[in-house]
Amino acid sequence: MLTDQKVNQFLEQTASGIPVPGGGSISALSAALGAGLTEMVANLTVKKKGYEAVEARMQDIAAKGRSLRDKLAAAVDKDANAYNDVLTAYKMPKNTEAEQEARSRAIQEAMQNAARVPMAVAYDALQVMDLAEKVIREGNRNAVSDGAVGVMMARTAALGALFNVRINLASIKDKLFVEEMTKEVEKLERRIHEREKEILSYVSI
């Protein structure tokens, strides 16, 4: 698994000439890091003098952040596997008409899955942004910059994931699928930009 690698090993593989981990996996990792920073600020708030009123909320945020972090970390490999499935489909034999049809069907199914995976990452990254807003507004003021970085990591992750959705949609023949996913991407992009602006307006350093 990619997430079992040491940091330097992961970076070397990212920089190499092989296609995975690519932008989709990196987006998932970025969102997971954003979730981790959000957890950190929440945990730095718990049991701190002056923050007793928000302690229960911070504990809840930390738990939700952990759940998202685990899910997004798993998506690092999920995205890589989705891309590998596309490559495998393209390598299928195409000597007969039946083989060509099977290959085409496999490619299209793999491409649709390769679009769905980063779409899910984008939604999860938006949830990270929403959690980060809470720690920025109510959490430990000494860690507000960490919360802000968490927001920006999640924002970049969400937009990066949507770039991956778009590039995969270009190879999908199902017009209805493409149309619905495109509308979803556009709506989500607008929401991400709106939330980033709104949340960072609460950062005062």
* Residue 30 located in a structural domain: yes
Q: At what angle do helices 175-200 and 97-138 cross, to 10 degrees?
A: 20
Look at residue 160 and tell me if it is in a domain: yes
pLDDT at 17: 85
Q: What pLDDT sits at residue 198?
A: 96
Please report whether residue 63 resides in a domain.
yes
In a domain, 12, yes or no: no
The boundaries of the domain holding residue 44 are 21-200
Q: What is the pTM of this model?
A: 0.94
Burial class (CB in 10 A: 0-12, 13-18, 19+), 50: exposed
- Name, in order, each residue with C-beta under 8 angstroms of 160's C-beta and a sequence gap of 6 or more: 23, 24, 26, 27, 30
pLDDT at 6: 94
Give me the pLDDT at residue 205, please.
80
Which residues, 6 or more positions from 30, have their beta carbon under 8 angstroms from its beta carbon?
125, 153, 154, 156, 157, 160
**Is residue 171 one of the residues assigned to a domain?**
yes
- Whichever domain contains 31, its CATH number is 1.20.120.680
Give 123-155 as a DSSP string: HHHHHHHHHHHHHHHHS-GGGHHHHHHHHHHHH
Number of domains in the chain: 1
Domain presence at residue 110: yes
47 domain-assigned: yes
- Position 88 scores a pLDDT of 97
Return contacts of 166-170, CB within 8 angstroms, 24+ apart: 168/111, 168/114, 168/115, 168/118, 169/115
Amino acid letter for position 171: S
Vertex 35: Cα angle to 6 and 10 (nearest 5): 20
pLDDT of residue 148: 97
Instruction: Measure CA 40 to chain center.
Output: 19
Any domain includes 185: yes
Return d(Cα 52, Cα 45) in angstroms, integer: 9
160 phi, psi to nearest 5 deg: -65, -40
pLDDT by residue for the chain (205 residues), tens only, comes to 888 899 999 999 999 988 888 999 999 999 999 999 999 999 999 999 999 999 999 999 999 999 999 999 999 999 999 999 999 999 999 999 999 999 999 999 999 999 999 999 999 999 999 999 999 999 999 999 999 999 999 999 999 999 999 999 999 999 999 999 999 999 999 999 999 999 999 998 8
- How far is C-alpha 192 from the geometric centre of its chain's CA atoms? 12
